[in-house]
Chains A and B, each alone.
Chain A
Amino acid sequence: MSDTTLLVFRGDSIKTGTEQPFQVPVQEGMVVLDAIHWIQAHAATDLACRWNCKAAKCGSCSAEINGRPRLMCKTRLDEFAGEPIHVWPMRAFPLIKDLVTDVAWNYLVNAEITPFTPKTDEPVPYRMAADDVERVFEFRRCIECFLCQDVCHVLRDHDQKAAYYGPRYMVRIAGLEMHPKDTVNRTALLHREAGIGMCNITKCCQDVCPEHIRITDNAIIPLKERVAGRYYDPIAWVGRKLFGSKAD
C-alpha cells in the first residue's frame, strides 16, 4: 500500500479557510470519497462532507477536485498518479463548513417551476408511445448533484442567481415541456423568471454532468428555440396573429 496526499479545504468561511494536508493509505480502486472517509475515521472526525450512496446515484458528494467540479465517489485516486489531490467545496454556493455548502437556493428555484399538469380528464392508466417519451428520459436521469449549477459562469462568476435558474432547472423544465401529457406552456417562465437568455450556451455544464446529460445541446438550446419562436420570430408572430394558433 502506498500513500497519497490529499489537500482538503477546511474551515467555515471560504476567505479564512485553508487547505489541510492528509496522508492517506491507498488501496486498489479507491475513490476520493474513500479517502475522505479514511480521514474522518483516522485523522479528523469532524471533517464535514456530504454523501449517501457512494455509487454515483444520489448526487450528494459534489466537490471540486483539482479545480474541476466532480462527484467524489466517482473520482478514482489512481487517476492522479500519486500527485497531491486538492479537494474543495463547490464555489458557487455559500460555504457551511469544509466540503459542505448551502445549496438551499436550488430548492427555492425548483419550487418556482410550474409542476407537471396533465389534462384533468386524461384516462388512467396513461398510454404514452415510446417515440414520445424517449427524449424525456435523458432529463429525468438528473441526480441533482448541482455540479452544473456550480460550474455555470452565470451563477458562479457573475452571481446572477436572481436572473437565471441555472442549467439543472433548464433540464427539469425541458423534461416537463417535452412531456407528452403535460399541458402547461412554460416559455413565458423561461423567457422571464427563469432567464434562459442569460445562458450563453458555453457548455461548461454539459462538460461536468456526471450523468452525461447533454444539458446545453438537448435541453437549453431546444428551449431557447421555443422561446425564439414565441418572442422573436416575426413570421411565427404574424402567423399567431392571423390564425390565433397556440404559442410556439
Chain B
Amino acid sequence: MSDATQTYTHDVLIIGAGGAGLRAAIEAAAGGASVGVVCKSLLGKAHTVMAEGGIAAALGNVDPQDNWQVHFQDTMRGGALINNWRMAELHATESPDRVYELETWGAIFDRTPDGRILQRPFGAHTYRRLCHVGDRTGLEMIRTLQDRVVALRIAVYMEVTLTRLLKDGDRIAGATGYNRQTGDFVTFRSKAVVLASGGWGRIYKVTSNSWEGTGDGVAMGFEAGAEVLDPEMVQFHPTGMVWPPGVKGLLVTEAVRGEGGYLFNSEHKRFMLDYEPEKKELASRDKVARAIYKEVQAGRGSPHGGAFLDVIHLGSDRIKKKLPSMYDQFLSLADVDITREAMEVYPTIHYAMGGLRVEPDTGATTVRGLYAAGEVAAGLHGANRLGGNSLSDLLVFGRRAGAAAAQFVKSVSLGALDPASVADEQRLLLGSLEGAGSENPYLLQQELQAAMQEGAGIARTDAGLRTCLQTILALKRRADNVHVAGSRLYNPGWHTARDLRFMLVISEAIVRGAIERRESRGAHWRTDFPNADPNFGKLNLIALKDGDAMRITTRPVPEMPDELADLFNGEVRQKSA
C-alpha cells in the first residue's frame, strides 16, 4: 500500500463488469474508444453470473405467434404502465438480435429439436420467450461477454471500488476510489463514464443479491447531480428460500414455475388459482409475491413461514435436466430432495426497477458524459420487472450506452482533474480507519437492513415508512462515527464502512419515494392506499440532490405515440395495477 494515488486514463470508463458493463465495453471498443472496465470483484463474478431463468427475447422459436409487439405490451403491462415506452420498444425490438449475437461469440443455449434456441414460459410473458441454458443462463452470458472482452484486449481493473464521480464543471471527468487488494487509492480520468454497477438488494435483510448490490452507482450518480427515477420500486421475487436461516432469501428461480411448478399453502390448496385464475403461478412477480405474503399472514403458511413450491409431478429426470442447480442447491444446503419433497419459499428482495433516469436511445443521464445501463438505470421496467427482461435489458442498453459514449468522446477532450474532490473522498475513506469512532460497520449495515425490511418491505404504510426514515437519518449520523481495525490491505471492514454510505443514500431515496407515492402500483404496495390511483399512474417520481438534502419531485410518464397506444385497445392509463 502506498499513499500515492495511481492514475489511469481512458476515453471511456466503465464502472461495472456485469452484463451491462461488459456489453457496453465491447461496443465502446468497437466504436474506437480506449476503454477501461472497473469492477469490485474478480472478472466474471458480477451479480449477472447468478441469473438463472433466462433472457427474454421474442424470437418466436417455440411459439411462432410471438413478436416484439407482444413482448412490448407484456413489459408495459407488467410495469403497470409507468415504464418509459421508448425503452420498452427498443428493448422488445432489439433483444432478439442481442441474443443471437451472443451465439456468434460462443454462447450456447438449450436447443429445440430443429437446432434453434429453446424458449421457456415465464411469469406474465404471453408466450414461451425465455432463452436459457438449464438454470445457469447468467453464467453463460457473463462468460461469453468476458471471453469477448478478453479477446478484444480491453483493460479490466479487478477488485477496484470507485466511490466518487469526478466532474469538471457540469461534465464528467472520471472517478476515484481504491484498490481492494492493496488499499491503494486510484483515480481514473476519462471523457465519459458508463455506470453499470447493478442494483441495491443488499440494503434489505432478506435478499437474493450478492454483497456487491449496495447501489454504489445510483448513489454516486445522485451525488454528482443525476436524477434518480422511481426509487420506491423494489421488486420482491416471490420465491426465495426460507430455511435454513443461513440461506434465507437465496433465490429459487422462476424457471421452477416456468417449468410447471405449483404453489400450495399449508392446507395443500393451490392458492394461485384464486388470486390469478388465468395466469396462476405465472402471474407477474408482484402479484405472486403478494399472494404468498397474504397466505402466510392468514396463517396458512408452511412450517418455516412460507408457501410450498412443488415440482415432484415433473419427474426426477426433467427436474435434473432443466433445474440442475436448484436440485443441487436444495439438496446440499437444505437437505431437501426436490424430486421428492416440496420446497419452502417466501418473497425475497430481488431487483431495483428504479435507478438513474436515462435517455432511452443513448443511456445518457442528466449529467453530461455520464451514461448508465443495466440495473443501475431505470425506466424500462416501470413498477415491476418481468423475469428475463433484465438480462435482455443489459444487452440492449449496455450496447447502446457503450456506442453513445464512444460517439460522445470523439467530440470532447479530457476534463480537468479536480484534486480537491479527490482529496475530499480520500479523507472520507480514511475516516473509518484513522478516526476515533466506535461504531461497527457490519452492525450498522445489519441495523439498516432490518429497518428497511421492516419499514419499506413488501407491505408498506405511511407510519412504517416514516419510522424507517428516522432510523435511516439516525444511522447516517452514526455512519460518521464508524471505526475499523487493521490496515488498508484487503480489509472488508474498511470496504463496508464506505458501502454503508451508499446504502444509506439509496435507502433514503426508496423511503422518501414510497412515502410520496400514495397508491399501490406494481411492486409498491401501500396497505393504507390499496388501490392504484390514475393520477399517480401519470407520474414518475424523481429523487434529486438539493444542496445537502434529498428532494422528491415528479415527472410526467412519457406518452406513447398512437401506433403503440393502439396496441392496448384503449386501456392505456386506465389499467389498474
| A/B: CB atoms within 8 Å of each other | yes
Residue ranges of A at the interface with B (Cβ–Cβ < 8 Å): 12, 27-31, 34, 40-42, 44-60, 74, 76, 96-98, 100, 102-104, 107, 110-111, 115-116, 118, 122, 124-130, 133, 136-137, 140-144, 176, 179, 182
In the complex, what's the smallest C-beta–C-beta distance from A58 to chain B, in angstroms?
A: 5
| Structural contact, B106 and A45, CB atoms closer than 8 A | no
Is B528 interfacial (CB-CB < 8 Å)? no
> Contacts of A48 on B, CB cut-off 8 Å?
489-492
> Contacts of B254 on A, CB cut-off 8 Å?
none
Q: For the complex, what is the distance from the CA of A114 to the CA of B58, rounded to whole Å? A: 33
| Structural contact, A128 and B140, CB atoms closer than 8 A | no
> Closest residue to B43 on the A side, CB-wise?
A107
Q: Name the residue in A102, A136, A141 with the highest tally of chain B Cβ atoms < 10 Å from its Cβ.
A: A141
Pick from B59, B103, B147, B494: contact of A126, CB below 8 A: B103
| Structural contact, B329 and A55, CB atoms closer than 8 A | yes
Further contacts, 7 of them, CB under 8 A, given A74-B333, A124-B101, A140-B139: A40-B493, A42-B442, A45-B484, A53-B45, A96-B181, A126-B103, A128-B111
| Structural contact, B106 and A115, CB atoms closer than 8 A | yes
Q: Name the residue in B47, B49, B446 with the highest tally of chain A Cβ atoms < 10 Å from its Cβ.
A: B49
Q: Which of B511-531 contact A (CB under 8 A)?
A: none
Q: Which of B472-507 contact A (CB under 8 A)?
A: 484-487, 489-494, 496
Q: Name the residue in A42, A57, A100 with the highest tally of chain B Cβ atoms < 10 Å from its Cβ.
A: A57
> Contacts of A30 on B, CB cut-off 8 Å?
244-246
> Contacts of A47 on B, CB cut-off 8 Å?
492
> Contacts of A57 on B, CB cut-off 8 Å?
49-50, 136, 138-139, 325
> Closest residue to A44 on the B side, CB-wise?
B485
Q: A12-B489, A52-B210 are in contact. Are A127 and B116 (CB under 8 A)?
A: yes
> Closest residue to A41 on the B side, CB-wise?
B442
Q: For the complex, what is the distance from the CA of A58 to the CA of B212, rounded to whole Å? A: 12
The A interface, classified by DSSP as helix, strand, loop or mixed, is loop
> Contacts of A60 on B, CB cut-off 8 Å?
41-42, 45
In the complex, what's the smallest C-beta–C-beta distance from B360 to chain A, in angstroms?
A: 26
| Structural contact, B333 and A31, CB atoms closer than 8 A | yes
Is B349 interfacial (CB-CB < 8 Å)? no
| Structural contact, A29 and B492, CB atoms closer than 8 A | no
> Contacts of A31 on B, CB cut-off 8 Å?
246, 333
> Closest residue to B100 on the A side, CB-wise?
A125
Pairs A-B, 7 closest by C-beta atoms: A29-B244, A45-B493, A46-B486, A116-B106, A115-B151, A41-B442, A48-B490
> Contacts of A176 on B, CB cut-off 8 Å?
106
Q: A52-B41, A54-B210, A57-B139 are in contact. Are A115 and B111 (CB under 8 A)?
A: no
| Structural contact, B105 and A116, CB atoms closer than 8 A | yes
| Structural contact, A137 and B108, CB atoms closer than 8 A | yes
> Contacts of A129 on B, CB cut-off 8 Å?
111, 115
> Contacts of B251 on A, CB cut-off 8 Å?
55
| Structural contact, B245 and A125, CB atoms closer than 8 A | no
Is B343 interfacial (CB-CB < 8 Å)? no
> Contacts of B443 on A, CB cut-off 8 Å?
41
| Structural contact, B133 and A137, CB atoms closer than 8 A | yes
In the complex, what's the smallest C-beta–C-beta distance from B258 to chain A, in angstroms?
A: 18
| Structural contact, B49 and A58, CB atoms closer than 8 A | yes
Is B532 interfacial (CB-CB < 8 Å)? no
| Structural contact, B490 and A74, CB atoms closer than 8 A | no
Number of residue pairs A-B, CB distance < 8 angstroms: 178
Q: For the complex, what is the distance from the CA of A136 to the CA of B45, rounded to whole Å? A: 21
In the complex, what's the smallest C-beta–C-beta distance from A59 to chain B, in angstroms?
A: 7
Pick from B111, B116, B151, B211: contact of A51, CB below 8 A: B211
> Contacts of A141 on B, CB cut-off 8 Å?
136, 139
| Structural contact, B111 and A28, CB atoms closer than 8 A | no
> Contacts of B212 on A, CB cut-off 8 Å?
52
| Structural contact, A111 and B150, CB atoms closer than 8 A | yes
Q: Which of B25-61 contact A (CB under 8 A)?
A: 41-47, 49-50, 59
Q: For the complex, what is the distance from the CA of A129 to the CA of B136, rounded to whole Å? A: 20
Is B537 interfacial (CB-CB < 8 Å)? no
> Contacts of B101 on A, CB cut-off 8 Å?
124
| Structural contact, B486 and A124, CB atoms closer than 8 A | no
| Structural contact, B104 and A98, CB atoms closer than 8 A | no
> Contacts of B538 on A, CB cut-off 8 Å?
none
In the complex, what's the smallest C-beta–C-beta distance from A212 to chain B, in angstroms?
A: 9
Q: For the complex, what is the distance from the CA of A50 to the CA of B210, rounded to whole Å? A: 12
| Structural contact, A27 and B245, CB atoms closer than 8 A | yes
| Structural contact, A103 and B42, CB atoms closer than 8 A | yes
Is B291 interfacial (CB-CB < 8 Å)? no
> Contacts of A34 on B, CB cut-off 8 Å?
246
Q: For the complex, what is the distance from the CA of A103 to the CA of B246, rounded to whole Å? A: 28
Is B62 interfacial (CB-CB < 8 Å)? no
Is B541 interfacial (CB-CB < 8 Å)? no
In the complex, what's the smallest C-beta–C-beta distance from A159 to chain B, in angstroms?
A: 22
Q: A27-B244, A45-B486 are in contact. Are A115 and B147 (CB under 8 A)?
A: yes
> Closest residue to A125 on the B side, CB-wise?
B100
> Closest residue to B48 on the A side, CB-wise?
A58
In the complex, what's the smallest C-beta–C-beta distance from A130 to chain B, in angstroms?
A: 4
Pick from B49, B115, B250, B489: contact of A54, CB below 8 A: B250
Q: For the complex, what is the distance from the CA of A23 to the CA of B329, rounded to whole Å? A: 27
> Contacts of A136 on B, CB cut-off 8 Å?
108
Pick from B49, B106, B115: contact of A130, CB below 8 A: B115
> Contacts of B115 on A, CB cut-off 8 Å?
127-130
| Structural contact, A115 and B150, CB atoms closer than 8 A | yes
> Contacts of B244 on A, CB cut-off 8 Å?
27-30
Pick from B59, B136, B138, B247: contact of A29, CB below 8 A: B247
> Contacts of B111 on A, CB cut-off 8 Å?
128-130, 133
> Closest residue to B494 on the A side, CB-wise?
A46
| Structural contact, B489 and A58, CB atoms closer than 8 A | no
> Contacts of A126 on B, CB cut-off 8 Å?
100, 103-104
| Structural contact, B440 and A41, CB atoms closer than 8 A | yes
Is B2 interfacial (CB-CB < 8 Å)? no
Q: For the complex, what is the distance from the CA of A140 to the CA of B44, rounded to whole Å? A: 13
> Contacts of A74 on B, CB cut-off 8 Å?
332-333
Q: For the complex, what is the distance from the CA of A128 to the CA of B229, rounded to whole Å? A: 42
> Contacts of A53 on B, CB cut-off 8 Å?
45, 47, 49-50, 210
Q: For the complex, what is the distance from the CA of A31 to the CA of B250, rounded to whole Å? A: 14
In the complex, what's the smallest C-beta–C-beta distance from B155 to chain A, in angstroms?
A: 12
